[in-house]
Structure 1
Amino acid sequence: MRIGLDMMGGDFAPLEAVKGVKLFLDTVATNVHLVLIGDEQALLPLIADAQLDQSKYSIVHSSQVIGMNEHPTKALKEKQQSSIAIGFYLLQHKKIDAFISAGNTGAMMVGAIYSIKPIDGIQRPTISTPLPREDGSANTLLDAGINADCKPENLVQFAVLGSLYSQYILGVPQPKVGLLNIGEEEGKGNLLAQATYPLLKENEQIHFIGNVEGRDVFTDKADVVVCEGFTGNVILKMAESFYDLSVRRNIQDEYIARFDFETYGGTPVLGVSEPVIIGHGISKATAFKNMIVLAEKMIETKLLDKIKESFPTKVE
């Protein structure tokens, strides 16, 4: 199993990326071979200091970096020797089995959609975010910000993708799916919610439990919470602020500590044909390690095969 890691992506790269690789290799018993994509001149001294096991990694040199504020499509086209462009080239040509980056999110989405393509039948790939629950588990919220405007059919596909992710990656046997709304009763909400509800209700691929409200997203009422990306991203950023607030106020709480994004690392792009994981721009060592663990689990569980089986017909 070969997992590609963009060593130049993120505000603290490449140092924190190297620390994350060391943390993974030192703490996770695995047969993963890491393909480290980045500027050799910058990487080699850091790798030497980290004393990485040379049998567990290889380096693919990249001479360019896509900045966090660059235009995604333009940058990918003009910077063919960037770490992100090379990562997608390796993934597209089966040289690696998954690709991870904490770099330019837009460039990662463009690369995922146009280099390795969406799975047949999927209209829009999506990203999710975990929402911690008090019992130690987590709900899955999607879309978390990629698709700000959606059609009812998009939300139904997000529900199927979220259910598969919850089942095979998080280990939930029969995930309960809830539609995020302003009331529990059928018929509540805006036009999108009203049109989506009956489609979810009749879909036999999911266990739909009806509407869920904002107060339900951190409880066990639903395992998968579905909404369009505008609302989802607001909830994600609000959830992240809980942890920041607790740090500023020196509040020590085991549950609130789980809102630290480093705990989860990154989010997969669900709906594309190869495993792609996008990390937070301020990712540090723990986040990089956890992204590698997630990529390994996606490959081991054959999640993408399960998704392909659930979307057998191509949508034109």
Structure 2
Amino acid sequence: MKLGLDISGGDFAPRANVLGAILALEQLPDDVELVLIGREDEIRSILKEKEFVSDRISVVNAPDIITMEDHPTRAIPQKPNSSISVGFELLAQKKIDSFASTGNTGAMLVGSMYKVNAIPGVIRPCITSVLPIVNGQNSIILDVGSNADCKPDVLYQFASLGSIYAKSVMNIDNPRVGLLNIGEEEGKGNLLTQTAYKLMKGSEDFNFVGNIEGRDLFTGKADVVVCDGFTGNIVLKQAEGMYSITKELGIKDNYLDRFNYENYGGTPILGVNSDVIIGHGISNDIAVKNMMCLAHDVASSELTKKIKEAFK
């Protein structure tokens, strides 16, 4: 298995990404190879500094960088030699089994749509985030930012995508799917959630358990929480903000520590034809390591294949 990693993306690139790749190789199976995509001289310099030599690492030169300020739609065609563009070319040509980056999220979404394409039948690919549950387990929420405006049928598909992910990667046999709303009753919410509820109710595609409220996000009432990307991104950023506050206050708690983004590394883009993983822009080496471990788990689970079969 070959996992591609964008070395030039992220606030602490290239160093954090190369060091994260080294850490990942210590945990990944022996048959996994990492393909480091970026400025070759920088990559080899860091590897040399760390005196790290392995036949499980290869380097692909990509001299250009898509920055966080670059426009996502224009960046890939304007910078064909960037690490993100080259990574997607390798993925499209099946020279790597997955591609992960902590760089420009918009460019990663655009590259996914135009280089490897959405799975036929999927209206809007989406991204997820982990919700740490007080009992020690995890739920997921989707979408968390890639689709700010959604229609009811899109939320229905998010429920299907999230359920497949929970089964395949999180190993939950019959994931409970909840719709994030302002009340538990069926008639609650705006037109979007009211109509989505009617579509989801009685579905045979997933195990719908009804509406859940914001206070239940971290109690484990649902394994998969569905919402539009606008709402989901607010939930995600609020959780990140509260975690930052607890650290500033010096509060130490095992449960609160599970909100640290480093623990999860990244999230797959659900609904595209290949495995694409997006990491946080502020990722350090630990986060990059966990992102690559997630990339391996997603590829090993054959998640994309299962989504394709479900959407035939």
Q: Which TM bucket (shorter chain)?
A: over 0.9
Matched AA of 1:69? E
Asked whether 1:174 is paired with 2:202, we answer no
Matched AA of 1:311? F
Aligned-partner Cα distance in 2 for 1:271–1:202: 23
Residues 117-196 of structure 1: pairs in structure 2 closer than 5 A = 117-196=117-196
CA contact (8 A) 2:47 2:53 kept: no
Residues 3-18 of structure 1: pairs in structure 2 closer than 5 A = 3-18=3-18
Matched AA of 1:98? S
Per-residue deviation, 1:46: 0.4
Matched AA of 2:151? K
Gaps in structure 2 of 5+ consecutive residues: none
CA contact (8 A) 2:178 2:210 kept: yes
Matched AA of 1:66? I
Aligned-partner Cα distance in 2 for 1:180–1:169: 22
Per-residue deviation, 1:30: 3.5
Asked whether 1:110 is paired with 2:107, we answer no
- Residue by residue, what CA displacement relative to the aligned partner does 1:150-204 show, whole Å, maximum 9, x if unpaired? 0000000000000011111111110000000011011110000000001111320
CA contact (8 A) 1:242 1:256 kept: no
SS in structure 1 opposite 2:177? Answer: strand
Aligned-partner Cα distance in 2 for 1:26–1:110: 32
Aligned-partner Cα distance in 2 for 1:50–1:297: 27
Residue of structure 2 in register with 1:265 after alignment: 265
Residues 81-92 of structure 1: pairs in structure 2 closer than 5 A = 81-92=81-92
CA contact (8 A) 1:72 1:107 kept: yes
Residue of structure 2 in register with 1:305 after alignment: 305
Which one is further off, 295-304 or 113-122? 295-304
- Residue by residue, what CA displacement relative to the aligned partner does 1:14-44 show, whole Å, maximum 9, x if unpaired? 1000110111112334311110001012111
CA contact (8 A) 1:179 1:225 kept: yes
Aligned-partner Cα distance in 1 for 2:51–2:151: 50
Per-residue deviation, 1:205: 1.0
Residue of structure 1 in register with 2:98 after alignment: 98
What is the aligned-residue RMSD (CA, Å)?
0.9
- Residue by residue, what CA displacement relative to the aligned partner does 1:71-118 show, whole Å, maximum 9, x if unpaired? 012111111000000000000001100000000111100000011000
Residue of structure 2 in register with 1:247 after alignment: 247
Aligned-partner Cα distance in 1 for 2:264–2:30: 19
Matched AA of 1:18? V
SS in structure 2 opposite 1:129? Answer: strand
Matched AA of 1:92? A
Per-residue deviation, 1:49: 1.9
Which one is further off, 195-204 or 230-239? 195-204
CA contact (8 A) 2:66 2:104 kept: yes
Matched AA of 2:139? N
Which one is further off, 24-33 or 151-160? 24-33
SS in structure 1 opposite 2:178? Answer: strand
Q: TM-score, normalised by structure 1?
A: 0.97
Per-residue deviation, 1:54: 2.0
Aligned-partner Cα distance in 2 for 1:288–1:200: 36
Aligned-partner Cα distance in 2 for 1:140–1:253: 21
Which one is further off, 112-121 or 28-37? 28-37
Matched AA of 1:145? G
Matched AA of 2:116? I
- Residue by residue, what CA displacement relative to the aligned partner does 1:187-230 show, whole Å, maximum 9, x if unpaired? 11000000000111132010000000000110111000000011
Asked whether 1:30 is paired with 2:44, we answer no
Aligned-partner Cα distance in 2 for 1:257–1:51: 33
Matched AA of 1:54? S
CA contact (8 A) 1:18 1:50 kept: no
Quote the sequence identity (%): 51
SS in structure 1 opposite 2:100? Answer: strand
